[in-house]
Structure 1
Amino acid sequence: MRALVKAAPAPGLELAELPDPTPGPGDVVVRVMRTGICGTDLHIASWDDWAARTVPTPLVVGHEFAGEVVAIGSAVTQAEIGDFVSGEGHLVCGRCRNCLAGRRHLCAHTKGLGVHQNGAFAEFAVLPEQNVWVHRGAVDLDIAAIFDPFGNAVHTALSFPVVGEDVLITGAGPIGLMAASVAKHAGARHVVITDVSEHRLELARRVGVDLAVDVSQTRIADAQQQLGMSEGFDVAMEVSGQPSALREIVENMSHGGRIAMLGLPAESFALDWGSVVFKMLTVKGIYGREMFETWYAMSVLLESGLDLGPVITHRFPYTQHAEAFETARSGRCGKVILDWTAKGCV
């Protein structure tokens, strides 16, 4: 099979020929059809400090994918050959207290598909049966490929009730855009999203936010006034990883407000914890998806009419991976998809 590989501890990825994988007793083999490029993949490709500390080489990268089950191990009981599936990229131990209690998303020993072990940027991928989500209804191939980041957005957006609430989202990247779509679909009154990229703010307007704010030009407090708000935001979602964003969130929250924090800052930073205390704010860290309650929610949201189409802006055959990665790195895009069934131009 052909696979996109981090061959050595240095910048770059290469398309290599590898043996087709075979399943262990509890594994399935998936013929990969579509994959999504994630920020994690960009870090691995550029080989930054985090990647150098974290990622073994050689390694097949990638963890956002969808495809067809083509082989199963002897102990597999649910997945069947021919099933159309997406993959949960967090591989848990199954033995710790949280795993045994059914709280697998809290496993302290989580490993990442395409980060710690061979991933899905390949014609075939192998993973445990418990990590595949079988699509029982019709799902667009490209949307199925981004169920992993879609799950991050759903986990973030639905961590707190949003019906009738005023919602602030900092960061209009793909996950922020999907979180905004979910919040609007779930009944939020106002959804405000911030960024400094006009391109991404325009994408946010397409997904239906009430206000897309360039915070290099406009204060969030001014956005409140524009919407006729007087007491601050009820729910906030921080998905940018920027310290200034969380500071602005705290400043603009209502008393008793709730903050879901998915964005991962590059380093420690100061925060006005006095305001957190006096406003009685709740701050919840979000990592990945609840397995598999979030996956049920994702499927139901799509069945009920949630449209993620505007979030996907570019599609490339896997043979044009360099161009696809450069597009994703530019920031002038939403989600970038690689097609593993096509070798020519798309």
Structure 2
Amino acid sequence: MRALLKREAKPGLEFTTCPDPTPGPTDAVVRVRATSLCGTDAHIYNWDPWAHSRIHPPRIIGHEMCGEVVETGADVTLVAVGDYVAAESHLTCGQCFQCRTGQAHVCRNYRILGVDRDGSFAEYVVLPENVLWKTAPTVPPELASVQEPLGNAVDAALVEDLTGHTVLITGCGPTGLFAAAVARTAGAATIIASDVSEYRLALAKQVGVDHVLNARAEVSDTLASNIRDITAGEGVDASLEMSGDPNALHLAFGAVKNGGRVTLFGIPTGLVTCDLANEIIFKGIRVHGITGRRLFSTWYRLAGLFKAGLNIKPVITHTFPLSGFAQGFDLMRSGQCGKVVLLL
């Protein structure tokens, strides 16, 4: 099969052929129809310090995907040949305290598709049946392939109800844009978004954001003043911090009203200082850290959001064949894209 292989501990990927996978008793082989590029994939492609410490080549990477089941192991009962599926990328142990108490999304021993085992940047991938998610055939591959990161956005936005609320989203990368679309579908009253890229702020308008703020063009005090003006001096009910940028994090805490909530999804590149007393404690703010998706409640909720009209099409800005992967990573590096999807 054709595949993108991290053969050696160095930057780049190799477009090559690898043996077709075979299923174990509880596995299914999926013919990949679409697989999307993620920030994790970019870390591995660029071979930064995180990737160097985490990845053990050779490895087929990639973890956001959809496809068709073409073969099943002898004991598989949850899916059948011909099923159209996406996949949960976190493979949990099922035995730790978290897994046994309904918190498998923070399993202590989880393994990640495309990181700890061969992933979806290939014609075929073998997966345990219990991570496969049957998807409606009406969902096109470029949308079905992004359900995994879209689930991150669903959990970030809807960890608390935001119907009728004013929401600030700091960071309009793909997951931030997904979160804006989810908030719009879920009935948020007003959505404000900030980013340093005019390109991505334009995408934010397309998915339903009411007010966009350029964090590169305006100083922090001006951004905060603009948010106060939009909210009649009240502040926002909820801040979704999706960038990991320290300035954005302080804006998220500063903009939320007393008694509001802050969701943290963006990953900082280093240590971040926080005025714990004034930014959190004295304001009585609730803080939620988001990692992955809740298994599998977020997936069910996502299916319902699609039925309710969730529109993420503007976020899928570029598609390439598998062999065009380098163009996709170049676009990600430039920031002049939303979500990039490889079609097989």
| TM-score for both structures, normalised by structure 2 | 0.97
User: Aligned residue for 2:240?
Assistant: 237
CA distance in structure 1 between the partners assigned to 2:230 and 2:247 by the alignment: 22
User: Aligned residue for 2:291?
Assistant: 287
User: Aligned residue for 2:326?
Assistant: 322
Alignment counterpart, residue 299 of structure 1, candidates 287, 303, 312: 303
CA distance in structure 2 between the partners assigned to 1:57 and 1:21 by the alignment: 17
User: Aligned residue for 1:75?
Assistant: 75
User: Aligned residue for 2:36?
Assistant: 36
The residue type paired with residue 303 of structure 1 is: K
CA distance in structure 2 between the partners assigned to 1:299 and 1:228 by the alignment: 32
CA distance in structure 2 between the partners assigned to 1:10 and 1:83 by the alignment: 37
The residue type paired with residue 198 of structure 2 is: E
Kept after mapping to 2: 8 A contact 1:167/1:233: yes
Q: Secondary structure at the match of 2:152?
A: helix
Kept after mapping to 1: 8 A contact 2:194/2:214: yes
The Cα shift of 1:326 comes to: 1.1
Q: Secondary structure at the match of 1:188?
A: coil
User: Aligned residue for 2:255?
Assistant: 252
The Cα shift of 1:137 comes to: 5.2
The Cα shift of 1:91 comes to: 0.9
User: Aligned residue for 1:343?
Assistant: none
The Cα shift of 1:224 comes to: 2.1
CA distance in structure 2 between the partners assigned to 1:82 and 1:229 by the alignment: 54
User: Aligned residue for 1:272?
Assistant: 275
Q: Does 1:197 align with 2:197?
A: yes
RMSD, matched Cα: 1.1
User: Which whole-Å deviations, capped at 9, do the CAs of 1:226-274 have from their partners, x for residues lacking one?
Assistant: 4242111111111101111111111111001101111111111110101
Kept after mapping to 2: 8 A contact 1:4/1:60: yes
CA distance in structure 2 between the partners assigned to 1:122 and 1:257 by the alignment: 44
User: Aligned residue for 1:344?
Assistant: none
User: Which whole-Å deviations, capped at 9, do the CAs of 1:104-148 have from their partners, x for residues lacking one?
Assistant: 112011111001111000000011111100114521111000011
Kept after mapping to 2: 8 A contact 1:160/1:235: no
CA distance in structure 1 between the partners assigned to 2:160 and 2:101 by the alignment: 22
Alignment counterpart, residue 310 of structure 1, candidates 311, 314, 326: 314
Kept after mapping to 1: 8 A contact 2:224/2:251: no
CA distance in structure 2 between the partners assigned to 1:303 and 1:137 by the alignment: 13
User: Which whole-Å deviations, capped at 9, do the CAs of 1:22-55 have from their partners, x for residues lacking one?
Assistant: 0111111100000100011000000000000001
Q: Secondary structure at the match of 1:143?
A: helix
User: Which whole-Å deviations, capped at 9, do the CAs of 1:201-222 have from their partners, x for residues lacking one?
Assistant: 1111111101111012233323
Q: Secondary structure at the match of 2:251?
A: helix
The residue type paired with residue 44 of structure 1 is: I
Q: Secondary structure at the match of 1:290?
A: coil
The Cα shift of 1:78 comes to: 1.2
User: Which whole-Å deviations, capped at 9, do the CAs of 1:75-119 have from their partners, x for residues lacking one?
Assistant: 111110000000111111111122123321120111110011110
Query: How many residues are aligned here?
Result: 340
Q: Secondary structure at the match of 1:50?
A: helix
The residue type paired with residue 223 of structure 1 is: N
User: Aligned residue for 1:14?
Assistant: 14
Q: Secondary structure at the match of 1:66?
A: strand
The residue type paired with residue 135 of structure 2 is: H
- Within 5 Å, give how 1:99-138 maps onto structure 2: 99-136=99-136, 138=138
- Within 5 Å, give how 1:87-166 maps onto structure 2: 87-136=87-136, 138-166=138-166
The residue type paired with residue 133 of structure 1 is: W
Kept after mapping to 1: 8 A contact 2:185/2:308: no
CA distance in structure 1 between the partners assigned to 2:88 and 2:103 by the alignment: 15
| TM-score for both structures, normalised by structure 1 | 0.96
CA distance in structure 2 between the partners assigned to 1:136 and 1:146 by the alignment: 14
CA distance in structure 2 between the partners assigned to 1:251 and 1:103 by the alignment: 30
Q: Does 1:186 align with 2:189?
A: no
